[in-house]
Amino acid sequence: MKAEIIAVGTELLLGQIVNTNAQFLSQKLAGLGIDVYFQTVVGDNSERLRQAIEIGRSRADLLVFTGGLGPTQDDLTKDVLAEFLKRKLLIHEPSMEQIEEMFSSRGIHMVESNRRQALMIEGCEPLENTTGLAVGNGLTADGTHYLLLPGPPREMKPMMDGAAEMWLRSVLGEADPLYSRVLKFAGIGESNLEAKLLDLIDAQVDPTIAPYAKEGEVAIRVSTKAASLIDADRKIDDTVAKIKERIGEFLYAEQDITIEEEIVRLLRASGRKLASAESCSGGLFAELITNVPGSSGEYVGGVVTYTNMMKHHLLSIPLSQLEGEGAPGAISDSTAALMAERVRNLSDADYGVSLTGVAGPSESEGKPVGLVYVAIAERGKPTVVHTLNLRGGRSMIRLRAVKSALYRLWLALQAQ
């Protein structure tokens, strides 16, 4: 079954609210074995909504509407669809009783327009709204299925998880659900990853391979339809094995987690501790690590030594290392190494990670924007420094530097 999601509301077109409903519904429908091929956003205009219905009906078996079921005159979804299908609008009495009871219990006068929320299209199956007032509708006409859901997520999601899902299952019969596995990679860019897998992607039929970049990392979603999880795993395992042969060295997780989450897990499993010293990244490394719940057990802390004096006072790095003619400077491999070693010693951690460089917008110490040094100091081992030449704006350079530092730390933890 092919589906199209039609979100109704001028506020969506104006960017006043974000259409989070589409993401939820796409995931939900995929789990039911329904392919979402199109998503449409249309304003509160009867003619444009009618056009969206006409187009949607021509290319999808199921149209899922969100929004436009409320009490005001610009809530047009039921009106326009009923007119399009040449069906009457009727009052769903249980919903009407619920609306009247709500106003009565609060001592509020109910205006006539509130009756609109109890309207249903003739011949539909009314879908109970357990968290609001507008009744949902599920109906089939001329071979096309129509599902009408309220717009507010707090109403739409419970209805979709409850009455709407039951209705969809009744019209679907038996359908194989969609199963997916997410592979997460670090230390490799999206274009390079795709180049190494291009023949697999071009030849894909089932399972499908979809690469995408997210927050300085790259992910691949391997998906298939199957009668059971066991059947899906068998199909997906074969494709994953081929991917690992090509780029397994960059694969840090076979689930949708961040690399910092995996690092905290590895630290916890090995009973090791981590500390950090940052300059150009301004505390972003510490922020990402501490965003992981429970990371306080593995991350002992860090310092942001943005200026030379702070590097000197907090990390005891000699000023002769940082300033003066012939000095390596704050932006150097030797300073990065000292920062990592000193913060590790200061905190008695097993790993010290440091970042120092030029995030921009202009050069510093005569060194170019994007030059960043990342050092990993591990207890009992020589300190390793990595030189990065990054591109992008200031924020992107900082994020890419931190993600690279996390990848290098992940490699070190893998070597244990």
DSSP-assigned letters across all residues of 181-192: EEEEE-SS-HHH
pLDDT > 80? residue 175: no
- Quick one: 53 and 34 in the same domain? yes
| Amino acid letter, residue 22 | A
Q: What is the pLDDT of residue 212?
A: 82
pLDDT > 80? residue 354: yes
pLDDT > 90? residue 197: yes
Phi/psi at 57 (nearest 5 deg)?
A: -65, -30
How many domains does the structure of the chain reveal?
3
- Quick one: 65 and 212 in the same domain? no
Which range among 133-147, 183-197, 378-392 shows the weakest confidence by mean pLDDT? 183-197
**Which CATH number do you get for residue 194?**
3.30.70.2860
- Quick one: 276 and 248 in the same domain? no
- Quick one: 220 and 266 in the same domain? no
Q: End of a domain among 132, 155, 172?
A: 172
Residue 344's pLDDT band, with cuts at 50, 70 and 90, is very high
- Quick one: 12 and 103 in the same domain? yes
- Quick one: average pLDDT of 253-281? 97
- Quick one: 57 and 153 in the same domain? yes
DSSP label of 296: G
- Quick one: average pLDDT of 379-398? 96
* Rounded distance between C-alpha atoms, residue 108 and residue 101, angstroms: 10
**Which CATH number do you get for residue 313?**
3.90.950.20
Q: Which long-range contacts (CB under 8 A, 24 or more apart) does 108-117 make?
A: 111/71, 113/71, 113/72, 113/73, 114/71, 115/71, 115/91, 116/70, 116/71, 116/72, 116/75, 116/78, 117/69, 117/70, 117/71
> Which of 132, 125, 149, 159 has its CA nearest to residue 63?
149
What is the CA angle 22-177-240, rounded to 5? 95
- Quick one: 130 and 54 in the same domain? yes
Provide the domain limits for residue 200. 178-253
Task: Look at the pTM and tell me if it is higher than 0.75.
Answer: no
Contact 315, 303 (CB under 8 A): yes
* Rounded distance between C-alpha atoms, residue 334 and residue 69, angstroms: 65
Q: End of a domain among 212, 231, 253?
A: 253
Q: End of a domain among 141, 157, 172?
A: 172
* Rounded distance between C-alpha atoms, residue 46 and residue 15, angstroms: 20
- Quick one: 272 and 397 in the same domain? yes
Which range among 94-103, 273-282, 314-323, 335-344 shows the weakest confidence by mean pLDDT? 94-103
- Quick one: 110 and 231 in the same domain? no
- Quick one: 298 and 314 in the same domain? yes
| Amino acid letter, residue 13 | L
- Quick one: 158 and 264 in the same domain? no
Q: What is the pLDDT of residue 27?
A: 87
Residue 215's pLDDT band, with cuts at 50, 70 and 90, is low
Q: In what order do the strands lie in the sheet with 384-389?
A: 299-304, 274-278, 351-357, 371-378, 384-389
Contact 186, 159 (CB under 8 A): no
Sequence-separated (6 or more) residues with CB below 8 Å from residue 269 = none
Proportion of the chain above pLDDT 90, given as a percent: 83
- Quick one: average pLDDT of 308-315? 98
pLDDT per position as a tens digit, 219-228: 998 989 888 8
- Quick one: 134 and 195 in the same domain? no
